[in-house]
């Protein structure tokens, strides 16, 4: 099952259309960082995520929107003192997708280490 990690890249090289599965979505570095940060915090504001991950506003917005559209994270917007505030939380399906991703990576690591011994 190790080849499945590279399935999306192979399909793109072959000119096939790929799907944005939860696994595919969170394997991108910035999205993995977002969902990982939310997995260990009850919630994080846009500003907190931006500073924690050291990304630009635009980069964070685009990646957070992809995760939100896939229902992996939840976004709540509010206005207080004439300032907007955006807060993110991981969803159950987001936590499950992260757990699946981590299990795949553990399997890959064990497989590689097992072959090198």
> Residues 25-70: pLDDT tens digits?
898 999 999 999 999 999 999 999 999 999 999 999 999 999 999 9
What's the whole-model pTM score? Answer: 0.79
On whether the CB atoms of residues 79 and 85 are closer than 8 A, the answer is yes
Give the span between the Cα atoms of 14 and 12, in whole angstroms. 5
- What is the rounded (10 degree) CA torsion for 109, 50, 92, 42? 110
The yes/no answer on whether domain 21-115 falls in CATH 2.40.50.140 is no
Predicted pLDDT at 76: 97
Name the helix (H) or strand (E) containing 80: strand 73-80
Q: How confident is the model at residue 111 (pLDDT cuts 50, 70, 90)?
A: confident
Predicted pLDDT at 58: 96
Predicted pLDDT at 23: 82
């Amino acid at each position: 099952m190790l080849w499945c990690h590279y399935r999306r890249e192979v399909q793109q090289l072959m000119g096939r259309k790929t799907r944005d599965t939860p696994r595919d979505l969170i394997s991108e570095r910035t999205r993995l960082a977002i969902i990982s940060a939310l997995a260990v915090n009850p919630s994080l504001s846009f500003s907190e995520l931006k500073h924690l991950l050291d990304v630009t506003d635009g980069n964070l917005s685009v990646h957070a929107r992809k995760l939100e559209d896939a229902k992996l994270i939840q976004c709540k917007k509010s206005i207080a003192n004439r300032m907007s505030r955006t807060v993110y939380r991981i969803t159950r399906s987001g936590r499950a997708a992260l757990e699946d991703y981590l299990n795949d990576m553990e399997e890959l690591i064990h497989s590689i280490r097992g072959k090198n011994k």
